[in-house]
Amino acid sequence: MSEPPADAETFLAATDTVAAMRSDLSLLEAGILAGLHLRLAEDSRSFARIFGLEHALVLRAVETLSGHGLVAATERNPRTQRTRYAASPEGAALLRSILSS
């Protein structure tokens, strides 16, 4: 059985927790990790649409997270630039350590 989608309060709390643990991340980057952990979005276009953001901003944040070794791009559409991503082993460990109950 899959978990129900997270509500706004849960997402914001998770984002704040990630941001507090990793001060080198922007709130957008922390939000992408929180959204991945909560299964809100696993690609850049969906994240941008859900949160009303420009897709280019989300793409830039995903690239930054990739540079930090926290996410890995798993697929990229050359036409739309939609990037599917997953937590890297380091990112998954971070999410488990700070967001698991």
Domain ranges of the chain: 8-99
Structure tokens given for 23 = 């001060």
* Confidence tier at 67 by pLDDT (50, 70, 90): very high
Is residue 44 within 8 Å of residue 16, measured between CB atoms? no
User: Is residue 100 over pLDDT 70?
Assistant: no
Beta bridge partners, 73, equal 85
User: Is residue 101 over pLDDT 70?
Assistant: no
CATH architecture label of 8-99: Orthogonal Bundle (1.10)
Q: Give pTM, 2 decimals.
A: 0.89
Q: Over the stretch 6-62, which tens digit does the pLDDT of each residue have?
A: 688 999 999 999 999 999 999 999 999 999 999 999 999 999 999 999 999 999 999
What is the Cα–Cα distance from 23 to 68, expressed in whole angstroms?
12
